[in-house]
Every structure is written in C-alpha cells, then in structure tokens.
Amino acid sequence: MNLYIDYGGTHFRYQINNEAIQTLKSENTHLVEFLDKMIPQYGIKKIGISFAGQVCDGKIISAPNIALEHMEIKRYIQTQYQVQLEIQNDLKCATLFERANSPQYKNAVVVYIGTGVGCGVMINHQLITGLNNFAGEVGHIPFKETPFVCGCGRNDCVELILGGKALKNWGNYYGIEEALCNLQTLKTTFSNHRIYENFQKGLEHLFFTLLNVYDPEIFIFGGGIMQNNPQLVENLEECYGKSAFYAVRKPPKIVLSSSTNGSLEGAKILLQYKGNIYE
C-alpha cells in the first residue's frame, strides 16, 4: 500500500493507492501522529509527501504557514517502520506533475497561489532546487511593507499581499467580513479597492520577476485563488504587454493548471526518485 499526502497551509489531503482523496484540516492534523496511525493500520510500504514549507534531505526546515518545523521526518519514519518515505516542497512536487503532464515544454515556471504563494522552476527538463532546496520561494521576495509579519520573519513579502491568508488578514485589517473577502467582491463591492489593487500589483511584480529571471516557455498557475479567479490569467496576458523587451521576445504561454491536486499528484512521482535527484 502506498500513502500520498499533500500537507498544505489550510488542507491536509491524503490518498491510499488509488482510493478517494480524503481531506482534513491542517491545523488539526499532526503529521507524525497521522503516520504512526496509518502505517500499521493499512500496511503502508511507501509514502510520498508534498509539504507546504521548506524541506531538505528529508528534514522539515521551516513552515511559515504550518506550526511544524525542524523535524527529520524521513529518518524517523524509515527507522521506525522500515518504509520508504520521500518528502519535498509542495511546489516542487507540483512542478514534477506539471512537467509530466506537459512534457513538450523544456522550460516552465509553475506558480500556485492558495493559502500562500509558491513556485517551482523547470529548466531544460531539470527541477531547480538550489543549495538548500529553497529555490522557488518566491512568496518571500520583498515587495512592500505591510502591517503584518510573515512566517519567515519579514513584513514585506509578496506573500503578505497575495494568497488566501493575506486576503483574510487584509479583510480583518479593514474590518471586512471574512465571507466577503474574495477578489471579485473586493473589486466590485467595496469603495476601498486597496486590497484588490495591491493583489494585482503583487501578482504583476511576481510575474515580471519570474519572466525576466527565467524566460520560460510557459507559466502554469494553480492553487485555490487562481483556480477560483481564472480572469487573473487573462489579466497577466494583458500585463505581458508592459514587459521588458516585449517587442522582441517570444511570449510565453500563460495557463491554469489542469488539476486541482497537482501537489498531491507530484507526491506520487516523488516515489519514482531517490532523494533530490530528478531525471
């Protein structure tokens, strides 16, 4: 039996083999306790985990949106149960899935905007990881100062403008009911458009940064915020007209992900590899 997990900032999704995907609340789910229960109960032999945080060599280093860090989860589970466990950042998992789904693109940038903001980059069919496996942490690119403090410790991360958690924080800041704090309502209903306008500017800033650094063939956007607001892709297509070298460069495709479970699907692909080696 294989167990696949997508541990996000809001939802904890898991699947055993090809059975139905189950969803729990992340804040109510402790990873080790969950695994200690599931492994003996279902005879789990292999585990693939997509994690919304920073991981390196099987160790959880940091998790800005999850109260869990500094845990050598791979060593613990493999020692305790003699099962294979592979864990990777959720956007790197999503990028593996998107690559498998669109193998014709050698150079791709994958951005998911859900609770937070994450990114994965594929260059010449190779996943970019970096020295500490932190490559792609674009949610923590400095953008503008805010009245909030990010889980990374800064107060100017683009993630404090984009994402579901950011919208909730800004809604509370301006006294807007949580149920009304969504992009379309913010754009069309409230006389104070600052939340929506800041979101758009933050998205453009992120897009232009990634465009100029990586020059990809394709941008693939996913995550709840993007999936629920497909007009954002059209906005970015228009936004591209303001990019540097617009007149001479070949434009990238800008699309929505074909799946709402890209990170979970990527966790399955992890089990085909060893450690951080991707072929």
Tens-digit pLDDT profile for residues 205-257: 999 999 999 999 999 999 999 998 999 999 999 999 999 898 899 999 999 99
| Three-state secondary structure call for residue 110 | strand
Structure confidence at residue 25 (pLDDT): 94
pLDDT band at 63 (very low <50, low <70, confident <90, very high): confident
Structure confidence at residue 179 (pLDDT): 62
**What is the DSSP pairing of strand 253-256 with strand 108-113?**
unpaired
Other C-beta atoms lying within 10 Å of the C-beta of residue 224: 17
Cβ atoms of residues 225 and 162 within 8 Å: yes
Q: Taking each helix axis from N to C terminus, what angle separates 231-239 and 194-214, rounded to the nearest 10 degrees?
A: 60
Structure confidence at residue 273 (pLDDT): 63
pLDDT band at 191 (very low <50, low <70, confident <90, very high): low
On the question of pLDDT at 204 being above 90, the answer is: yes
One domain, residues 39 and 176: no
Cβ atoms of residues 244 and 209 within 8 Å: no
Closest to 112 measured CA to CA, from 187, 25, 192, 50:
50
One domain, residues 147 and 109: yes
Report if residue 64 sits inside a domain. Answer: yes
Report if residue 71 sits inside a domain. Answer: yes
| DSSP secondary structure letters along 71-99 | B-HHHHHHHHH--EEEEEEHHHHHHHHHH
pLDDT band at 278 (very low <50, low <70, confident <90, very high): very low
Q: Vertex 85, ends 164 and 36: CA angle to 5°?
A: 80
One domain, residues 24 and 151: no
Structure confidence at residue 234 (pLDDT): 92
Give the up-direction half-sphere exposure of residue 146: CA atoms within 13 A in the CB hemisphere: 28
Structure tokens at 104: 């014709």
How large is the average pLDDT for residues 252-278?
A: 83
One domain, residues 8 and 141: no
Q: Taking each helix axis from N to C terminus, what angle separates 164-173 and 194-214, rounded to the nearest 10 degrees?
A: 150
Count of domains observed in the chain: 2
One domain, residues 237 and 165: yes
Domain that holds residue 51: 2-90+262-270
Cβ atoms of residues 166 and 183 within 8 Å: no
Residue-wise pLDDT tens digits, 129-154? 999 898 999 999 999 999 999 988 99
Report if residue 60 sits inside a domain. Answer: yes
Percentage above 70 pLDDT, the chain: 95
Closest to 65 measured CA to CA, from 136, 113, 107:
113
Report if residue 279 sits inside a domain. Answer: no
One domain, residues 123 and 19: no
One domain, residues 208 and 232: yes
One domain, residues 145 and 185: yes
Average pLDDT, the chain: 90
Structure confidence at residue 276 (pLDDT): 40
What pTM, to 2 d.p., does this model score?
Answer: 0.89
CATH number at residue 188: 3.30.420.40
Residue-wise pLDDT tens digits, 75-128? 999 899 999 999 999 999 999 999 999 999 999 999 999 989 999 999 999 999
